[in-house]
Structure 1
Amino acid sequence: MGILGNTRWLYPQACDNRQNVKIYQVFRTLFDDHELITNVTRAGLMRPTKDVYFPSLGKTEDRQNWKTMSNWLHLDMNPLTGRTTTYGFEYTAESHFEPSDDPLSAQNKSTNNGMRVRKLQAILALVDCRQQDGGFHAVPGFQHYIATWTKSNHKLCLRSNQSSDPTTVQIPWDDPIREHIQCMPIRKGSLLVWDSRLPHGNYPNSSNQMRIIQYLHMAPIADEALRPFPLLKEDLPETFQLTELGEKLYGFKSWESDLAQHRFQEQKNPEILCQVNYERLERAIMKDRCDTKTKNRSPVVEPTD
């Protein structure tokens, strides 16, 4: 699918991108709200599949088996329940993978606000992502018809609620909206933002170049469904310099409003705190293994005359 695992990208540049002023200004403008938080999530990568040069072989070859799923199209929300993906944030209600007990009345909960509150997702292109390099596609304008579509796909949304990922709806292969899919190549350094009510996905790489992006979402602190992912400053890279803006986006400091300060004092979700501790331990183990390999590596002996 072009998603690089489930590991949070905590590299210095990735962390810095989340506090980038220009990216923040984009979301601030679209939300018409300056008190925002950022998610902490992963990256996307698609290997080249055509005319790939292999130095060990001294030639180029195609790798069709490296291609990702074709025509993957989904919603990162369930329009019947109103639940939207919280990945990379701290969720405040049901777990990301927990179905709603009463899906027909789920939207009555203030946290299931996906059909009432604007939700935005985005990718940041880390290299030029040409159309032939694979990548993002979507059905533009669908958010204006999602209510009608939901009525026609009531059973699909009910089944999705009972699936392993109840905040995602996979669009059927025979759905006529697929006729309106548009591929969206983007230049290096560009930010592509879409409404969470938009069906979207990735299509395969058919070139000899890598496609690499960073998933990067922001949300207003007023969104009751979300809180900043509860990292500690010690979880961030040593070489990363947190800015004043970054302190607030990452949730280390509160924004100024009474609402923001109230939310800053809210009790953290114990399930998420357990997840954070597990990931912290996992990173420590990986670092220890890397350090051990480095220490055990044989020194390079320079040839003498």
Structure 2
Amino acid sequence: MNLPSPNRDIRELPKAQLHLHLTGAMRPATLTELAGRYGIRVPPPLPSAAGTWAAFQDRYDASRAVLRTPADIRRVIVEAATDDAADGCRWLEIQVDPTAYAPVFGGLEPALEAVLAGAAAAPIPVGVLVASSWVRPPAHALTLARLAARYEGVVGFGLSNDERGAVVADFAPAFRVARDAGLLTAPHSGFYTPAAHVRECVELLGATRIGHGTSAATDPQVVDMLAARSVALEICPTSYPPFGVHELSTIPLKTFLAAGVPVALSTDDPLLFGVGLTGQYEICRTALGLTDEDLAFLAASGIQASAAPADLKTRLLSEVATWLATGSQ
């Protein structure tokens, strides 16, 4: 029986973080400090039992309200990158919908520019992924895709929020703009929606990555398609139990690994879910029984699926191999 080895230090495993939302990246202490500064009530913790998306969104929106200045944005990104770097992250992608910040910052452009400036100040390389929302009109997604295409430092385009109820095909024009600009494409899918939704995001939007996508495991044909097209799933283990989507032990990582589907482990919103990047890997080791070889595959998959420069990818993949080769046996 091939049991997981507890010998290698997961923190030392080189990683890429590909699914991290700006507000959700905030340290709890920073949220408390900024809320006090601006006279805003700190939202309560997310319930540990299965809750609703609305309850999550209310807490997220309340947290986002404390980000009022470019200095606030810069602080959150620098602190998040510092925390991820301590967990072995060598490439970070921050996801942001500038729409939510535009009223305070004076428009979409200054909001995005504040995020890009924060990314440039981080201690590790940070790319920015602009995301529209499944619950906003497709025309708005097209506006944001055009915005994303204009800025150096923006590496991708996606759709966040609750994916239920939207018509996937309606967002094809926005994703065409993003692909034509050379941006990676990463819509959220397969969280609440079935495997067919994941398939549509790949076939109709040209998705190169899927945010979450765990429902794909229920359809072998979709799993095979993801593997054949090397579409990476951005899986965030601690995001699923609060909504009753999965228990930690039922996340179908082994299904994806067995089929050769690339998986990038990420944290999503550590402010709300409470677990950093190393912790997500630890969960895969302890709750799912993954071996160090499996964890190295996940780390390599995340690096390969990232928008990191080719030379950085090559170096990090070599370091992953070294971690696996030199660790205790």
* TM-score with structure 2 setting the length: 0.23
| Structure richer in helix, relative to its length | 2
Which of the pair has more CA radius of gyration? 1
The one of the two structures with greater contact order (alpha-carbon pairs below 8 A, sep at least 6) is 1
Give 1 or 2: higher strand fraction: 1
